[in-house]
Amino acid sequence: MKIKRISFLLILFLVFGCIKKNKNKITEILEIAEPRDWVLVIHPEGCKTCLDQLYQELGALEITNGSIVIVAKNTKSMRLNPLFEHSPVPVYLDEEKKLIQEGIVDFQDQILLFSNEGLEEFEILNYEALFSSLAKF
């Protein structure tokens, strides 16, 4: 009887441990109103020149069925970034770093693309690969 209970508990832990991180959880946490096909999460650590170039290229996209979340403090320089004015999709700031607190984003994560198909990870130094994934939408 004890073995069955232990086996059941182990299976439960395994199932809950394997649940995918998904975009719906992000939209709940950050209260993103409209359902989107994809949510791009950027943790702006690393190469500032690469980040500026990434923001510039994201602002020029013609894709409108997603959202961008930047995990950063609400600084004046961040709000003055042209991405906030020129983005074809809504841009949100996760100022309280809720996504990190919830375990959806790790400190070492740089660029994450959440969609119904799952999660894709990118590095800021190789952000160009992101655009081929966004082209699918």
For each of the domains in the chain, give its residue range(s) and CATH number, in order of start: 20-134 (3.40.30)
Residue 82's pLDDT band, with cuts at 50, 70 and 90, is: confident
How far is CA 126 from each of CA 58, 81, 104, rounded to the nearest angstrom?
14, 21, 21
Query: How high is the pLDDT of residue 7?
Result: 43
Mean pLDDT of 65-84: 83
Single pTM value for the model: 0.79
